[in-house]
């Protein structure tokens, strides 16, 4: 971990630590000896790098919370999908391998886009762009305010089918 943080001093790198997330397992199975919260890593980092401070980043950098050493060219970030919900600030939408927009990894709700586009001839570019726009707007509209990792209601999924 220290080596990653040191890389950000002289290089404009954005290193992110992502908490172990269930990808088709129950959270309780993951917790059994594998899960480490981002808070634990942050606490350890602050002991080794007491001058590591929260960084201000532009909107659009995703769900990570970033930290930076004074004068460093890069930053280190944490994505806390399990220990701290960031759903209300999440700006991610995925295009699945099946051609659907999925506004949340941990929700089974999706918006069909592939079949809609296949029905519009390639030369009708304006209609295709409008369909894409409408589909994206619908996906944003159905984006949940929080996920349900750890609850019995979470839908089973396989990350390779989502494209994540």
Does the pTM surpass 0.85? The reply is: no
Which letter, b or e, does each residue of 38-77 get, where b requires 16 or more Cβ atoms within 10 Å of its Cβ?
beeebeebeeebeebeebeeeeeebbbbbbbbeebebbbb
Count how many domains the chain has: 2
- Of 22 and 134, the structure prediction assigns the larger pLDDT to 134
Interval 71-82: pLDDT, tens: 999 999 888 877
Interval 109-148: pLDDT, tens: 899 999 999 999 999 999 999 999 999 999 999 988 777 6
Last residue of a domain, one of 41, 69, 84: 84
Question: Do residue 105 and residue 73 come from a single domain?
Answer: no
| Among candidate residues 91, 97, 94, the one with its CA nearest the CA of residue 109 | 94
């Amino acid at each position: 971990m220290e080596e990653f943080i040191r890389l950000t001093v002289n290089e404009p790198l954005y290193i992110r630590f992502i908490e172990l997330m269930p990808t088709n397992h129950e959270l309780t199975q993951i917790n059994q000896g594998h899960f480490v919260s981002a808070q634990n890593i942050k606490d350890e980092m602050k002991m080794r790098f007491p001058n590591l401070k929260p960084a201000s980043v532009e909107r659009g950098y995703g769900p990570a919370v970033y930290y930076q050493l004074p004068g460093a060219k890069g930053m280190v970030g944490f994505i806390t999908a399990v220990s701290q919900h960031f759903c209300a600030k999440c700006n991610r939408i995925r295009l699945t391998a099946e051609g659907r927009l999925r506004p949340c990894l941990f929700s089974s709700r999706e918006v069909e886009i592939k079949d809609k586009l296949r029905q519009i001839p390639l030369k009708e570019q304006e209609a295709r762009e409008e369909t894409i726009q409408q589909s994206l707007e619908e996906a944003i509209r159905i984006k949940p305010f929080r996920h349900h990792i750890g609850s019995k209601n979470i839908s089973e999924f396989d990350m390779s089918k989502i494209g994540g």
